[in-house]
């Protein structure tokens, strides 16, 4: 089975983020980039499926990023993926989620796949719409928010998180699956894996390679535009009290809640 995992580099999740006032885009220059934490679950799930199905299966990593994106791809390769492809072109900058999905879908078609696995979202944009948009563009079954995945025999079955619990859904391959946080425990790259990753291929794909039409990506291909933004003031420090017992603490909180008319 040919499995492709889409990944994204994101600013470190522990950093405070800011918008660049001129471009109205995230200021990425001052923040260290990491592999999107949600994608680690996708890579792990792909590796587990490959390990279960045996040697004929492969795991390919796909990312759309500036050249610096090679670092996060190396991590995915160190975890055990076989090879990778990177679409890098300054013309892609400014693409909104739907334009991003356009590029990813073309790249996936170019690479070929039986199963695509992604995370549910990235920690920087949190749109959560790229997986379903890519699946729709590819015209393959879309099984998102999986907390359990079983793939093989030409089909894939997932348990999908819902607001009230979960449901089980099954579809024929090829298909697109997004996995929820916590579906597995992502492995740490071993030293051998890290050394081995240096020899694995990261293929550079151009917009021409994948057949992207101008006007469909970047600023020009995006149907949404940030027109303005305002900073929300930092929250002020309120009252903090120390208490001697539980009853007293509870009473202090009650007085506060009643005073604020929230109870």
| Helices 130-138, 97-111: inter-axial angle, 10-degree rounding | 50
Closest CA to 38 of 145, 133, 116: 145
- Quick check: 86 and 69 in contact, CB under 8 A? yes
- Residue 44's Cβ-count burial label (10 Å; 0-12, 13-18, 19+) is buried
Establish if 227 lies at the interface with another protein (CB under 8 A).
yes
Among 192, 198, 199, 235, binds another protein (CB under 8 A): 235
Can residue 137 be called a binding residue for another protein (CB under 8 A)? Answer: yes
User: Which of 53, 91, 97, 194 touches another protein (CB under 8 A)?
Assistant: 97
Least Å distance between CB 26 and another protein? 8
Nearer of residues 198 and 236 to another protein, judged by Cβ = 236
Q: Which of 143, 149, 210, 212 binds another protein (CB under 8 A)?
A: 143
Footprint on residues 107-126 left by another protein (CB under 8 A): 123, 126
The CA-based dihedral angle spanning residues 47, 147, 177, 26, taken in that order and rounded to the nearest 10 degrees: -90
Q: How far is the CB of 230 from another protein (least distance, A)?
A: 5
- Member of 29, 56, 182, 192 binding another protein (CB under 8 A): 182
The answer to whether residue 172 forms part of the interface with another protein (CB under 8 A) is yes
Query: Of the two residues 15 and 195, which places its CB atom closer to another protein in the complex?
Result: 15
Told to check if 247 binds another protein by CB under 8 A, we report yes
Q: What end-to-end distance do the CA atoms of the chain give, in Å?
A: 57
8 binds another protein per the rule CB under 8 A: no
Q: How far is the CB of 209 from another protein (least distance, A)?
A: 22
> Does 251 participate in binding another protein (rule CB under 8 A)?
yes
The b-or-e profile of 177-200 (16+ CB within 10 A means b, else e) is bbbbeebbebeebeeebeeebeeb
Out of 77, 135, 151, 205, which residue is the one contacting another protein (CB under 8 A)? 135
Residue with tokens 């079955």: 157
Q: Interface with another protein includes 93 (CB under 8 A)?
A: no
**What is the β-pairing status of strands 175-179 and 142-152?**
parallel
Cβ partners under 8 Å of residue 97, min gap 6: 125, 127, 129, 130, 133
Assess 204 for contact with another protein (CB under 8 A): no
């Amino acid at each position: 089975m040919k499995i492709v995992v889409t990944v994204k580099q994101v600013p470190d999740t522990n950093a405070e983020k800011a918008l660049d006032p001129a471009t109205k885009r995230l200021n990425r220059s001052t923040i260290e980039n990491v592999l999107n934490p949600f994608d680690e679950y996708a890579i792990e799930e792909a590796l587990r499926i490959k390990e279960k199905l045996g040697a004929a299966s492969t795991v390919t990593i796909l990312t759309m990023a500036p050249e610096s994106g090679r670092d996060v791809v190396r991590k995915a390769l160190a975890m055990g993926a076989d090879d990778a492809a990177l679409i890098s072109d300054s013309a892609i900058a400014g693409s909104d989620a739907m334009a991003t999905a356009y590029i990813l879908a073309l790249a996936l078609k170019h690479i070929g796949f039986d199963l695509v696995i992604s995370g549910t979202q990235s920690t920087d944009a949190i749109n959560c719409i790229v997986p379903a948009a890519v699946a729709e563009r590819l015209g393959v079954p879309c099984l998102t928010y999986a907390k359990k995945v079983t793939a093989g025999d030409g089909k894939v079955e997932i348990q999908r998180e819902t607001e009230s619990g979960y449901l089980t859904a099954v579809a024929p391959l090829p298909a697109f699956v997004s996995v929820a946080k916590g579906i597995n425990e992502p492995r740490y790259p071993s030293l051998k894996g890290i050394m081995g990753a240096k020899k694995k291929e990261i293929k550079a794909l151009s917009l021409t390679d994948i057949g992207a039409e101008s006007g469909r990506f970047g600023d020009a291909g995006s149907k949404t535009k940030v027109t303005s933004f305002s900073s929300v003031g930092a929250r002020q420090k309120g009252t903090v009290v120390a208490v001697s017992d539980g009853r007293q603490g509870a009473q202090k909180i009650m007085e506060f809640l009643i005073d604020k008319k929230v109870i």
